[in-house]
Structure 1
């Protein structure tokens, strides 16, 4: 594992400890360059966490918890998973780092909006912390992507 590349790359993000912890859990990071680390953060780390939150939201909805804010969060997470995370993949593939970075800005905005609604309708829900984690991972992903420009 190229721990030095991971540490160096992560040190240039707003959340270096989260970055290192997240990336090193993925075995492919041992052989990755910076672009590979961005792909790992997006595809393996962020996607998994976003899907986990989306599943939790769906479970709450199925259990009868249906404030409008939760329904909006479900829609927002569908956009994050099906559009924004794919946007990073496409941006990295086409070397369009600004497109990938914008997709992560959009992700942070969507997740933050979700959190605002939840804080009013379901204060104290664990989803608030989970959303904050997704936003942090998106911010880290963006910072790694920007190192490619």
Structure 2
């Protein structure tokens, strides 16, 4: 009998070491996801933007860290697509040759974000190679900044708000992808 008690205690101790320890598993359900979103967003340069973006997507309630990065990249792509439509509309109405040149340059930059940077980011995150996800999201942020600079110094851009939104959200995605390294 005395030999059984230490064995039972040892078995109990080992059973606790296999319990789930992630915040998501401990919290369970939506509370865990909110905790993961909040914890993740605290590690990004734009906490409020990160939080509102991820919480607005129902997929975040079941997402892991890679899933959150994927959601963010989807949002960057959507925002870049909306910005590209805005630029195209402005170009149709533009009379100033300098403005036309800047807008055409921005079309090229936003095409790159939509057709290259975000698909590369999503694929890299999905396939477990976050280094390329960080690079793709960083490139997108830089291209939004480059578009803004095309309008002069100081910039007189009619799309400053959109450029800033794409830049900031891309920086959030790069930060989340960085956490996967």
Tell me the TM-score range normalised by the shorter chain.
over 0.9
What is the aligned residue count? 147
- The answer for the alignment partner of 2:55 in structure 1 is 24
1:12 to 35, 43, 62: 43
- The answer for the alignment partner of 2:176 in structure 1 is 144
1:39 to 59, 70, 77: 70
- TM-score w.r.t. length of structure 2: 0.77
Q: Does 1:102 align with 2:135?
A: yes
Q: Mean Cα displacement is larger for which, 136-145 or 108-117?
A: 108-117
- The answer for the alignment partner of 2:92 in structure 1 is 62
SS at match of 1:29: helix
- The answer for the alignment partner of 2:110 in structure 1 is 77
- TM-score w.r.t. length of structure 1: 0.92
SS at match of 2:150: helix
Shift of 1:122: 7.2
Change (3 A) 1:143 1:8: same
Change (3 A) 1:3 1:57: same
Q: Structure 2: which 5+ runs fail to align?
A: 1-29
RMSD of aligned C-alpha atoms? 1.6
Q: Structure 1: which 5+ runs fail to align?
A: none
Change (3 A) 1:133 1:119: farther
Deviations 1:36-76 (A, max 9, x none): 10000001x11111111000001111223552111000010
Shift of 1:106: 1.1
Does structure 1 retain, via aligned residues, the 8 Å contact 2:148–2:157? no
Larger Rg: 2
Shift of 1:91: 0.7
SS at match of 1:123: coil
Shift of 1:93: 2.1
1:49 to 79, 98, 104: 79
- The answer for the alignment partner of 2:126 in structure 1 is 93
Does structure 2 retain, via aligned residues, the 8 Å contact 1:84–1:106? yes
